[in-house]
Amino acid sequence: MKNTLTIIFCFLLGQAQAQYMYPDQEVAILIKNKDLVVQLLPESSGVEKALNKVLRETFEEYWPDKKMKYMFPPRVKALMKSKPQNYAILTQTESLGKQIKSLPEYANGSMEKWILGASKEASEEQKNALSNFNYKKVQLEYHEHKLSVFDGKKEKVATIITFVNGNLGKHDYVFLSQQLHHLLNNAAAGIPRDEFWNVDENIKALRNTKYSLLEDYFKTEDLFQIDKTLVNLYTMIPFEAYQKIIVEKTLGRSYPKIIFSYLHGRFMWVMIRSSDGRILSINSCNNYKFTGNYPANEMIRSDDIHKSMDNSIQILFNKYR
């Protein structure tokens, strides 16, 4: 896994700016004129079935401008081998990872219940599982979605959106679709990457939001270290409320999310505007390895919250190492 990530990182370093790889204009235009094939997880368990259900549901709601096909990995591999000219293809890591599958929550079905908790047809039991969910541990398994298209015989990668785990929920898929839209629309319009990741504009926009900080990311005793002179309006929220502001695209809010950044070659946390999914800052996590099981409330340092609003620090984080 570590060697694979190193190869990917080296490949993208020349093209990456800030959080994600920014598409070339011609690739973005090509993709926007194609129908989309979305790869599903192999349904070897109820958890994978639940994830696929929520993925379909979310993309049908948030990706309305294109016709979509959903395929399992064998069909996607066969399609990729044929070098199709009429589709853009969104692939993903094919499995949830050994550590995630070893979780008691995975075995007893509770993970499946909370995944479905925010879906349109959720039962009361599933909704209750969502409200009772918390991030006691973060599974750093590295899960990615790659968007690409074939131009003749050559595959052209537009971007790769990464997650720190594979047990995703609806809020993750909303985030995924929003990032793809932002990157494709701006690149296709010919907006330079330096303008797309405009630090000054991002900080200005961030200051006009209320920070909605997931309780599970912070220790109670650390909350006093948050600089209230910079974060003049913030609130600590439980997971259910956290997911709700993302899914409902609540106006005037921003929220933290942990991602893998190709730019830095490690896990970072970003602040995102919930109304449209716009990433407004990127911030340093503790320097964890690529995989493992870590306490969620040690990933983000409370005294670093103010750095997400510091222009000079954000410019530094957005530069190549």
User: 41-86, pLDDT tens digit by residue?
Assistant: 999 899 999 999 999 999 998 887 778 899 999 999 999 999 999 9
- Percent of the chain residues topping a pLDDT of 70: 90
User: DSSP letter at 94?
Assistant: S
The pLDDT assigned to 4 comes to 45
Between residues 161 and 18, which one has the greater pLDDT?
Answer: 161
The pLDDT assigned to 27 comes to 97
Q: Which two tokens stand for residue 187?
A: 């690149």
| Mean pLDDT across 110-119 | 90
Checking if the pLDDT of 23 tops 80, the result is yes
The pLDDT assigned to 11 comes to 43
Please tell me the distance from the alpha carbon of residue 209 to that of residue 131, in angstroms, as a whole number: 24
Q: Helix (H) and strand (E) counts for the chain?
A: 13, 14
CATH architecture of 2-95+138-188: 3-Layer(aba) Sandwich (3.40)
The pLDDT assigned to 224 comes to 72
Please tell me the distance from the alpha carbon of residue 298 to that of residue 207, in angstroms, as a whole number: 25
CA angle 312, 318, 321 (to 5 degrees): 105
Please tell me the distance from the alpha carbon of residue 9 to that of residue 24, in angstroms, as a whole number: 18
Q: What is the average pLDDT value for the chain, to the nearest integer?
A: 85
Between residues 16 and 34, which one has the greater pLDDT?
Answer: 34
| Mean pLDDT across 156-180 | 91
Residue 275 has a CB neighbour count (10 Å cut-off) of 16
The pLDDT assigned to 47 comes to 92
SS3 of residue 123 by DSSP: coil
The pLDDT assigned to 1 comes to 44
Q: Which two tokens stand for residue 269?
A: 């946390």
Contact 138, 294 (CB under 8 A): yes
The pLDDT assigned to 307 comes to 84
The pLDDT assigned to 139 comes to 78
| Mean pLDDT across 26-53 | 94
The pLDDT assigned to 2 comes to 42
Checking if the pLDDT of 104 tops 70, the result is yes
Checking if the pLDDT of 250 tops 90, the result is yes
| Mean pLDDT across 210-233 | 78
Between residues 261 and 206, which one has the greater pLDDT?
Answer: 206
Which of these ranges, 56-60, 78-82, 158-162, 262-266, has the smallest mean pLDDT? Answer: 262-266
* Global pTM value: 0.89
Residue ranges of the chain assigned to CATH 3.40.30 = 2-95+138-188
